[in-house]
Amino acid sequence: AAVIPDSLRVTAVPQTLNKVERDSLELKCEVSKSTAQHSHVSIAWYRQRGSETPVEVISLNRDFVLRAGSAYAQRQATGDVRLDKVGETTSKLTIYNLHPSDQGEFYCEAAEWIQDPDKSWYAMTRKRSQGAIVNVQATDKEFSVRLETEKRTYIVGEPVEFRCILEAQNVPDRYFSISWAFNSSLIASLGPNAVPMLNNEFAQREALGQLKVAKESDNVFVLKIYRLRLEDSGKYNCRVTEREKTVTGDFIDKESKRPKNIPITVLPLKTSISLEIINNASNVLEGESLRFGCNVRSGFGPQSRFSVTWQLVDKLNRRSEIVRLDREGTLQPGPSYAERSSYGGIQVEQVRPGSFTLEIFNSVKADEGHYECRVIEWTRTLDGEWQMVGERHTGTPVSITALEAGFAVTAISRTPGVTYNESFDLQCIIKPHYPSWVPVSVTWRFQPAGSTEFHDLVTFTRDGGVQWGDRYAGFRTRTAIEKAESSNNVRLSISRASDTEAGKYQCVAELWRKNYNSSWTRLADRTSNLLEIRVLRP
């Protein structure tokens, strides 16, 4: 078969045209052929932006049927897009009322068709012209943005929806991106493709279905939080940026606008619990235990759990956390009570749901002050998370009397003059009247007549033992020492007095405290008056 030579020529003037929105565009394309056989020619106009797939504007097929591409069909129906034959070989594309979206490179493509003996057509050759670059400047590029939400105050667990509304002309033909901010930190952004990108914890919350960022329409963008948390209180805003798509398909930012911030406040769920505090002793002696009870009296349901924090506010209004018991029952002592707690000096217990006790053993003067019980009510949300419902607190004062307050010692004798070979008693009186658990040591000292030195005679130790001095061995055989069960008073009884026992007597008392770590602290010591005993010859 003979080869049919390729004679198709498709030419257009390469040019750049700068148009304004609503202008008209005319482009011509010259298509010629010199094939001897009978053939038909089809012609089509395309618009292309960068690497995007070309968009068909309008075409005339080989059967001379005119058809617009889907993007331009509506405008062809209204007469805004036309394809006309001008003369024998020239076709003219006309677009009236240009849109900014018409920007791009326009070219025409022609194909020469030949019919086979079986009546079927095939394209023998296909060629395209050089392109004309058309820029379309929008006539009104102004736009404004407003932010709306239903109210400004919410309660934990409620939903909130922010609507960022764009007001502009020809929005579908323009490119806008939007970003959302919370307290000036970026939380989400949507480009012209409307795919949201979220930051940090907001991405996690979106993954859990707790938050949504979306484009509702060309003009409306939405940020929705389905269950507000306390920490969601703050300022929200959106920023809208217009972007321009260049011929190469890249986007460049043109202008950004944002409305005023909308501040919202998220209030905690209101708790209806009430508390009572029980103080077993508001005025105690140093060393005694402090016992408190804290009870949730009413207003909670079966789903509620509680955490409790005990605090001490001292006389200088300094607040110290004693211990915290979380809703799972985990105990956490405060920093300044950690060591004491490790020795068992502090005990906290949940006796039953909503009923707590605090016991502080072996109190010290520094434990004086105002004790507060703070209870937080928690409830489980639908998504399984624990939500704080609210907090209540109540308190009670505690006054602690220091052990050394009023500590004094007096030595007495009813027989300052003793006849030879008679017995005599000396008493060491301790004040105040301490309970038996308060450790006091008492030492009787003796200065013989004519001497200037005192020496320890005998000591009643803090743990109830008796230690004799090694200076006056003769005393031990004729002396009895006795401590009264009901007090710390110590009696010294000496039988068969002689010149050896004549002299000055004195008692020294030491007040001790056993600490929570089993070490001992000497709080104070007191020395009594002098007792002079004279032994008289019969």
Instruction: List, for residues 141-154, the tens digit of each pLDDT value.
Output: 788 899 999 899 99
Q: Domains (ranges, CATH) in the chain?
A: 8-137 (2.60.40.10), 143-267 (2.60.40.10), 273-401 (2.60.40.10), 408-536 (2.60.40.10)
User: Once rounded to an integer, what is the mean pLDDT over residues 532-537?
Assistant: 89
Given a cut of 70, is residue 247 above it in pLDDT?
Answer: no
- Percentage of the chain beyond pLDDT 90 is 52
**496 pLDDT more than 70:** yes
CA distance 311 to 320: 6
pLDDT score, position 31: 93
Average pLDDT over residues 68-81: 91
What's the pLDDT band for 387 if we cut at 50, 70, 90? confident
pLDDT band at 288 (very low <50, low <70, confident <90, very high): very high
Whether 269 has a pLDDT exceeding 80, the answer reads no
Mean pLDDT over residues 286-304, rounded?
A: 84
Region 349-356: what's the mean pLDDT?
Answer: 87
pLDDT of residue 250: 75
Q: List pLDDT tens digits, range 305-348.
A: 899 999 999 989 999 999 999 988 899 999 999 999 999 999 99
Residue 119: per-residue pLDDT: 84
In a 13 Å sphere around the CA of 393, the CA atoms on its Cβ side amount to 12
In the predicted model, is pLDDT for residue 192 greater than 80? Answer: no
Q: Residue 449 pLDDT > 80, yes or no?
A: yes
More confident residue, 304 or 236: 236
Q: What rounded mean pLDDT belongs to the chain?
A: 89
Q: 87: phi > 0 → left, psi -120 to 50 → alpha, else beta; which?
A: left
Span 219-226, mean pLDDT? 93
Tens of pLDDT along 360-380?
999 999 999 999 999 998 887
> Which of 13-22, 114-123, 397-406 bottoms out in mean pLDDT, i.e. has the lowest?
114-123
Q: What is the pTM (predicted TM-score) of this model? A: 0.53
Pairing of strands 25-32, 90-95: antiparallel
| Residue 1 pLDDT > 60 | no
Angle at Cα 169 formed by Cα 164 and Cα 174, nearest 5°?
A: 80
Measured at the CA of 222, the angle between CA 178 and CA 227, to 5 degrees, comes to 125
Alpha carbon 511 to chain centroid distance? 50
Instruction: Give dist(CA 353, CA 190) in Å, integer.
Output: 48
Among 21-25, 189-193, 271-275, 396-400, top mean pLDDT goes to 396-400
pLDDT at 382: 66
What residues contact residue 19 under an 8 Å CB cut-off, 6+ apart? 25, 98, 134, 135, 136, 137
Q: How much is the pLDDT for 289?
A: 93
Give tens-digit pLDDT for 249-268: 677 788 889 899 999 999 87
Residue % of the chain over a pLDDT of 70? 97
